[in-house]
Amino acid sequence: MLSYRHAFHAGNFADVLKHAVYVTVLRYVTIKAKPLYVLDTHAGAGVYDLGSPEAAKTREHRAGIERVLAAPGSWPDLLAPYLELVRAFNPPGRLAVYPGSPALARAILRPQDRLELVELHPTDHAALAARFARAERARVVRADGLAHLVARMPPPERRGVVLLDPSYEIKTDYEAVARAIAKAHRRFATGTYLLWYPVIERTRVEALLAALRATGIRAQYRIELCLLPDSPGRGMTGSGLVAINPPWMLPAMVEAGLPWLKQRLSAEGPCEAGWLVPE
Ligand code: SAM
């Protein structure tokens, strides 16, 4: 039974980091004219109305995207293209909607690229399918995202970015995601994989990172930003990403932009970036 709905969390601090990195990666890999395949294994509803009852209930975007967009001065390179995209989805001077990963990818991809969006929840799948019904070169699938990932590798384009953004509702998701990445990477070792994870219990994060290291996959770069020090029982205090085969410029951009984001979000917990497994 799926109960997680991203509408309650859209635009929160975790989305800001995840989407800034996703946009940075997609913009870099679309510099080359060659066709690209992008797979979003846990796609959500696509776009979120920040005036909806779900968003109004938690107002998580206020401490996330709203705060970051309102920053005076100039944005760091890690965030600027993403924030410009969020602005482009909204009326001037207002934050009414938040574009999720499918909408951000669609805004960046070119006619020669292909976007596959996988979502299992019936309501969010229906919303996503309706939104992308006329989108050329984009396909919405109702399936298990991890099984779909393994089945789709390698993509015929031989160039690909995979975003894995599970809801971690089931505790076994942590192990399942590392297993799926290992299988997908055996079939498509040159793809870029971006895995998002929540910091709820540090031991689970450590087990996930250990499982990723144990795959033997090289070039795993990890980024983490926590609003609060680790405090089990207080819900999600932070989040992170592991980028496998990141574009060469990503580490420098993250290292330059992360301190700005930490300060802007008034984050007081662990904040770090570095190679989990070197190249
Ligand atoms: N990637 C989206 C974004 O950044 O805008 C947010 C995705 S949300 C964190 C996780 C999504 O995964 C939820 O919409 C949930 O319904 C979906 N989901 C949960 N289990 C799934 C599964 N086994 N396969 C595919 N999607 C699943």
| Separate counts of helices (H) and strands (E) for the chain | 10, 10
| Domain-located, residue 12 | yes
CATH number reported for the structural domain that contains residue 219 in this entry: 3.40.50.150
pLDDT tens digit sequence for 29-60:
999 999 999 999 999 999 999 999 999 899 99
**How does DSSP assign 196-216, residue by residue?**
EEEESSHHHHHHHHHHHHHTT
- What is the phi/psi pair of residue 136, to 5°? -70, 145
Choose which residue among 2, 13, 38, 42 to substitute to test ligand 1 binding: the one with the highest number of ligand atoms within 8 A of its C-beta.
42
Q: Which residues are catalytic?
A: 165
Distance 143 CA to ligand 1 centre (A): 11
Ligand 1 and 11: CB distance under 6 A: no
Choose which residue among 115, 120, 170, 175 to substitute to test ligand 1 binding: the one with the highest number of ligand atoms within 8 A of its C-beta.
120
| Domain-located, residue 83 | yes
Residue range(s) defining the domain that contains residue 260? 6-277
Distance 125 CA to ligand 1 centre (A): 9
Distance 124 CA to ligand 1 centre (A): 9
> What pLDDT sits at residue 1?
67
Query: How many distinct structural domains can be found in the chain?
Result: 1
**ipTM (interface predicted TM):** 0.99
| Domain-located, residue 161 | yes
The C-alpha atoms of residue 120 and residue 172 are separated, in whole angstroms, by 17
| Domain-located, residue 188 | yes
| Domain-located, residue 1 | no
> What pLDDT sits at residue 80?
97
pLDDT tens digit sequence for 120-133:
999 999 999 999 99
Ligand 1 and 4: CB distance under 6 A: yes
Q: Is the dihedral of CA 175, 176, 181, 187 positive or negative?
A: positive
| Domain-located, residue 150 | yes
| Domain-located, residue 15 | yes
Mean pLDDT along residues 207-215 = 97
Distance 35 CA to ligand 1 centre (A): 26
Which residue has a Cα nearest atom 16 of ligand 1? 121
> What pLDDT sits at residue 232?
80
CA angle, corner 30, sides to 26 and 33, nearest 5?
165
| Domain-located, residue 117 | yes
> What pLDDT sits at residue 2?
80
